[in-house]
Chain A
Amino acid sequence: MKTFGQVLTEARKGAGLTQREVASRLRREDGRPVDPPYLNAVEHDHRYPPEDHLIEQLAKILGISADVLYFHANRQPADVKTEGDQARVEAAYRAFRKVLGVKLAGKRK
């Protein structure tokens, strides 16, 4: 499976933007700009995927679904972090696996 950095790099190149150009358009929550070296480190998987608000901005700038970025960051989008009961969560993951074409790994109690 591709890493978050690989997906981000492919999306950026696909959008025809350099790291410097993307970083200049990103803003942290306190309004500070993002340093290009930080973005470079994320793309090379030397840093963890960025916070949610930066992922949302990256998705808009690069024209990629934020869900894809969250998926490769091993995180859930904020809008699906609900208090779902056990049955609904299981059903959701069944549907998720079905669409992805993967099977449940191992046996669960």
Chain B
Amino acid sequence: MKVLRDPLGRPIKRLYFKTEELDDRCEPIIREFMDRRSGGFSLPIPTDEIIRMIEADADDLDMYADLPEGLDGFTEFFVDRKPRVQVSARLSDPRYENRLRTTLGHEYGHVWFHAPLWRQFGKHPDRRPATPSWVCHRDTSCGRSRK
């Protein structure tokens, strides 16, 4: 956790990982997944493996979502079920394969690290979020409430 300040200067705790910590946590996830499901880990990681990982841990993945220009993907969190991930249909163009992989990896980070916290808080009435869901936009990587 890292203590940040809100616009009024009040301390707020935020989940925070250093790059090395993320590497240490993320590499075993994909390695274990591919060992278990795909006959072994190999590089480069196939895009379809990242898709499979998201589909295994998310409630829904829409790879061809009609998202606004500049928005590559977003993850919607819920207190009572797994998250829903949307990726822009624009990224299905083979020219954007690398951007697609980056976006899928980014969204999977939300699915793996953030969604369980969201569901955990949802179990406590006094800590339950004010809105039923929360959307993280890929372009800003920060939240926006949505009713």
Q: Are A and B physically bound partners?
A: yes
| Residues of A bordering B, CB below 8 Å | 13, 16, 18-21, 36-37, 40-41, 44
Instruction: Give the interface centre of A18, A36, A37 by most chain B CB atoms within 10 Å.
Output: A18
Query: Mostly helix, strand, loop or mixed at chain A's interface?
Result: helix
Contacts of B30 in A (CB 8 A): none
Given A16-B37, A20-B48, A36-B92, A41 and B55 contact (CB-CB distance below 8 Å) = no
Q: How far is the CA of A13 from the CA of B62 in the complex (A)?
A: 14
A38 and chain B: residue at smallest CB distance: B64
Contact of A44 among B48, B62, B92 (CB under 8 A): B62
B55–A18 touching, CB < 8 Å: yes
Contacts of B52 in A (CB 8 A): 16, 18
Query: Mostly helix, strand, loop or mixed at chain B's interface?
Result: helix
B28 to chain A, nearest CB (A): 21
A20 and chain B: residue at smallest CB distance: B48
B64–A40 touching, CB < 8 Å: yes
Contacts of B135 in A (CB 8 A): none
Chain B contributes a number of interface residues (CB within 8 A of A) equal to 12
9 A-B pairs with least C-beta separation: A37-B64, A18-B48, A40-B64, A18-B51, A13-B55, A40-B63, A21-B48, A18-B52, A20-B48
Q: How far is the CA of A21 from the CA of B47 in the complex (A)?
A: 11
Which residues in chain B, 71-117, are within 8 Å of chain A measured between CB atoms? 89, 92
Q: How far is the CA of A19 from the CA of B64 in the complex (A)?
A: 11
B63–A19 touching, CB < 8 Å: yes
A13 and chain B: residue at smallest CB distance: B55
Q: How far is the CA of A41 from the CA of B37 in the complex (A)?
A: 26
Given A16-B37, A20-B48, A40 and B62 contact (CB-CB distance below 8 Å) = yes
Which residues in chain B, 41-78, are within 8 Å of chain A measured between CB atoms? 48, 51-52, 55-56, 60, 62-64
